[in-house]
Amino acid sequence: MKMRKKSCTATLMFAALLFWGTHSLAQVPSGATPVTGTNAAAPSPTASPSPTPSPIVLGTPKQMPEIVEYFARSLAKNIKAAKVRGDAHPERAFQNASRELATMALAAAANPDKAKTINYEAQYTASLETSRTDKQIGSSARTTGSTSATDKPGIPYLLGLAIDHGAVTQNINGSTLTLSSSPYALIASIPGNGDTAETYNNYSDFTRVGVSASFDLQDQNDPLASVHRKQLSEWSVKFRILGDRSARSEAAHTLFQQLMLPALQNEANVLGSGVQLEFGGEDAANALQAFATGTAADIAAYVSSPNYSDGSAEDELTKRITDSVQHRIYANIASFALPPDQIDILSSFLTRFKTATDAVLSSSNTLDAAIKDLAQKATLTLGYFNERGSGTGSYSVAKLMFEKKPPHFTQIDFNASASAYHDPNPTLNQTTFRDATAALGFLQPFGKSPFLTDPNDKSRITVSFSGRYERLQENRHVPNKKADIAVANWKIEIPVGQGVSLPISITYANATELINEQDVRGNFGITFDLDKLRLLVAAK
Amino acid sequence: MEQIDTVSYKVIQGENVKLTVTAHTIDEEIAVSLDGGTVNPASVNPAIFNFQITKSNGAQFLVVDCHFKAADDANAFYQFSLEGSDGGGQFDASSVRKDDFIKRITYQFTLPKSK
């Protein structure tokens, strides 16, 4: 497939001259000078055409160029996905990229041997959220059903739900239902707000705050029936002290501007200049509009017809798009004639565009790595816990939770807390000061869970070991009780489904708060991380 | 400005056009180019891009290139609206989702036929 350079007939020359006279194109180099609020790169409307070279009509490819076929199939997948998710206008997926496709089709006709394939953006997965190990979804270490000796500082974005059975620090067999969320989720759910960049910008401080409530389970067959005040065993408010490490943080935006924006802007400029070069003239613009409108109508008719089926949609849509390229662009190629110098520019478009898209991909990977590093920076959270536990009076706990993920080392969690009774009972040897604790945990992620079938779900099996020391003031000098309580906890958490994991732990304690006897017990639970579940469902 | 479809519009020379971006569950990470020239945002959160139609005939093209990080919500999407100074109101101007293969929109602004 080589471009055929024809000598124009007098008639064609006349038509082309007319075309060129109205075709006020401007060759805009990639990375054109930035302007603010106006389009400095646009050609002057009053510029007089210079002596007009003879336009050249591109040769019609003998077969559909590989890159056009590839692009059309990709658009077909988008259209089908839009149809499957119930979009009212699946054809809009085509319309968005119709000018890009047409530019590629003509560039491929101008120089079919170059840049047969362009690697577009990688398919994203829900990997980062699903691989998070910093969130405390289950109940805190003090509740009757906890499976953990340390608490993690991360705050659920949407809603976490966990059921724990067992006890780490108390000699009670109990089950606990824990619900956790962030006030930001409530603000974003208000009609008119939505979880937009504007809302996040205005209310991102609320993502620093997490709230949770744990309920003693009465009926394990109907956990939510226990969600009432009488069964409330703990509520907490957490405040993230250190800054936002999320992908929407200011730090992440700065990384985007430094690592990504230049490449993205260049890609947009290369494409923009290419489309303008080829279709800026009146005839070409009209022919382009006819191609886009006609193809979109074909697609809309097909996806709403009884003939549509998900099984054959990709092939059918690809064929309709490439047929339209053939009939509306290649069969009408005279509408897109260009002067020789602009043909040269067009013929290098695919090469320049491929260079630009490659740079975008490379920058995107660099940015993703930087965002991952950002997420692994140290986290420090201050928590207030109101305990209404079994066997003791109500008390308040202030707790600092620190987490660090050093490179090539396990995740480290450290907690330090102190608690005070609201209404100490002297007959139980209680004073206002109740206890002080320190806990240290190490968490190591291992391979992907064998129970997960969704390739987007990167949840990994994690194993943690933690130790906790508690100085319980009221147990001093009391027979059969111990004031210095040490706990060692080994835990494995296995993802068993989308956003669902099964924590199992074994705990050794030199004593419990209630009795001076060594204790070894097993704990298990189930956690539902709706943040992960939402992302995985959306990724389908 | 008159809407033909969500990505094509009839405009007149000298018309000022405003593109408004609403980023859902994502930061504003977009680049905008008019005929190959960078258009910087006039404001952010929401991002607003203003530009002027300078040609007298043919068409001008606005490329809106969107970026999504791997860490961004799988539901993330950008919603666009366009409004011209010559009237017609504000138009729904399509959207780009994280799972779209092509994460760009090219808008066509067509000028009246030359006489």
A40 pLDDT band, cuts 50/70/90, is very low
Of chain A residues 499-538, which have a CB less than 8 A from chain B? 534-536, 538
Mean pLDDT of A8-18: 33
Residue in chain B closest to A265 (alpha carbons) equals B31
Contact A196 B36 (CB under 8 A): no
The confidence score (pLDDT) of residue B34 equals 98
Lowest mean pLDDT among A132-136, A330-334, A531-535: A132-136
**Inter-chain contacts counted by CB atoms under 8 A, chains A and B:** 286
Chain centroid to Cα A72, Å, comes to: 26
Most B CBs within 10 Å: which of A75, A96, A119, A540, as the mutation test of the B interface?
A96
Q: What is the ipTM of this complex?
A: 0.97
Question: Does the beta carbon of A17 lie under 8 angstroms from any beta carbon of chain B?
Answer: no
The confidence score (pLDDT) of residue A246 equals 86
The confidence score (pLDDT) of residue A513 equals 79
Mean pLDDT of B18-41: 96
Mean pLDDT of A426-446: 91
Checking if the pLDDT of A157 tops 80, the result is: no
CA distance B8 to chain A (A): 8
What's the topology of domain A127-242+378-538?
A: Porin (2.40.160)
DSSP letters for A302-367: HHTSTT--HHHHHHHHHHHHHHHIIIIIGGGGGGG-B-HHHHHHHHTHHHHHHHHHHHHHHHHHHH
The reported pTM is 0.75
A123 pLDDT band, cuts 50/70/90, is very low
The confidence score (pLDDT) of residue B42 equals 97
Contact A248 B60 (CB under 8 A): no
The confidence score (pLDDT) of residue A256 equals 96
Partner residue facing B94 (CB), from A92, A273, A360 = A92
- Tokens standing for residue A98: 């119709």
Checking if the pLDDT of B81 tops 90, the result is: yes
Of chain A residues 241-280, which have a CB less than 8 A from chain B? 246-248, 252-253, 256, 260-261, 264-265, 267-276, 279-280
The confidence score (pLDDT) of residue A441 equals 92
Q: Average pLDDT over chain A, rounded to whole? A: 78
A227 pLDDT band, cuts 50/70/90, is low
| Interatomic CA distance for residues A500 and A452, integer angstroms | 10
Checking if the pLDDT of B33 tops 60, the result is: yes
A141 pLDDT band, cuts 50/70/90, is low
| Interatomic CA distance for residues A116 and A108, integer angstroms | 8
| Interatomic CA distance for residues A110 and A113, integer angstroms | 9
Checking if the pLDDT of A49 tops 70, the result is: no
| Interatomic CA distance for residues A459 and A499, integer angstroms | 8
Helix, strand, coil percentages, rounded to 5, for chain B: 0, 55, 45
A192: left (phi over 0), alpha (psi -120 to 50) or beta: left
The confidence score (pLDDT) of residue B2 equals 97
Residues A474/A495, Cβ–Cβ less than 8 Å: no
Residues B7/B24, Cβ–Cβ less than 8 Å: no
Question: Does the beta carbon of A196 lie under 8 angstroms from any beta carbon of chain B?
Answer: yes
Q: Which residue has the higher pLDDT, A341 or B14?
A: B14
Mean pLDDT of A414-424: 93
- A416: which strand partners? A400, A438
Checking if the pLDDT of A8 tops 70, the result is: no
The confidence score (pLDDT) of residue A531 equals 64
Most confident of A18-32, A37-51, A211-225, A436-450: A436-450
Mean pLDDT of A165-194: 70
Most confident of A13-17, A245-249, A343-347, B108-112: B108-112
CA distance A174 to chain B (A): 36
CA distance A67 to chain B (A): 14
Checking if the pLDDT of A369 tops 80, the result is: yes
Mean pLDDT of A24-49: 37
Mean pLDDT of A86-92: 92
Question: Does the beta carbon of A227 lie under 8 angstroms from any beta carbon of chain B?
Answer: no
- A235: which strand partners? A213, A386
Mean pLDDT of A352-362: 90
A308 pLDDT band, cuts 50/70/90, is very high
Checking if the pLDDT of A1 tops 60, the result is: no
Checking if the pLDDT of A264 tops 90, the result is: yes
**Separation in Å, CA B8 to CA A302, A325, A395, B75:** 22, 18, 64, 26
The confidence score (pLDDT) of residue A12 equals 33
Partner residue facing B46 (CB), from A198, A261, A293 = A198
Half-sphere exposure of A248 (CA within 13 A, CB side): 25
Residue in chain B closest to A264 (alpha carbons) equals B31
Lowest mean pLDDT among A107-121, A274-288, A508-522: A107-121
Give residue limits of the domains in chain B: 2-110
Most A CBs within 10 Å: which of B102, B103, B107, B113, as the mutation test of the A interface?
B102
Mean pLDDT of A449-461: 77
Lowest mean pLDDT among A89-93, A190-194, A275-279: A190-194
The amino acid at B49: F
Q: Which residue has the higher pLDDT, A130 or A504?
A: A504
The confidence score (pLDDT) of residue B67 equals 95
The confidence score (pLDDT) of residue A447 equals 78
Mean pLDDT of A505-512: 87
Checking if the pLDDT of A6 tops 70, the result is: no
Mean pLDDT of A265-290: 95
Checking if the pLDDT of A390 tops 50, the result is: yes
Chain A residues touching residue B52 (CB < 8 angstroms): 38-39
CA distance B1 to chain A (A): 16
- Tokens standing for residue A132: 């998070």
Partner residue facing A197 (CB), from B23, B32, B60 = B23
Contact B4 A293 (CB under 8 A): yes
Contact A28 B108 (CB under 8 A): no
Give residue limits of the domains in chain A: 10-31+51-120+255-368, 127-242+378-538
Checking if the pLDDT of A159 tops 80, the result is: no
Checking if the pLDDT of B112 tops 90, the result is: yes
The confidence score (pLDDT) of residue A528 equals 73
Burial group, residue A510, by CB count within 10 angstroms (0-12, 13-18, 19+): middle
Lowest mean pLDDT among A108-112, A276-280, A366-370: A108-112
The confidence score (pLDDT) of residue A232 equals 82
Of chain A residues 285-304, which have a CB less than 8 A from chain B? 285-286, 288-289, 292-293, 296
* Backbone φ and ψ of A238, nearest 5°: -115, 145
Partner residue facing A100 (CB), from B25, B98, B102 = B102
The confidence score (pLDDT) of residue A36 equals 36
Mean pLDDT of A15-39: 33
| Interatomic CA distance for residues A9 and A17, integer angstroms | 12
Q: Average pLDDT over chain B, rounded to whole? A: 95
Q: Which residue has the higher pLDDT, A435 or A146?
A: A435
| Interatomic CA distance for residues B51 and B37, integer angstroms | 11
- pLDDT tens per residue across span B40-53: 999 999 999 999 99
Architecture of domain B2-110: Sandwich (2.60)
- Tokens standing for residue A293: 């409108």
Checking if the pLDDT of A418 tops 50, the result is: yes
Partner residue facing A35 (CB), from B37, B68, B74 = B37
The confidence score (pLDDT) of residue A170 equals 43
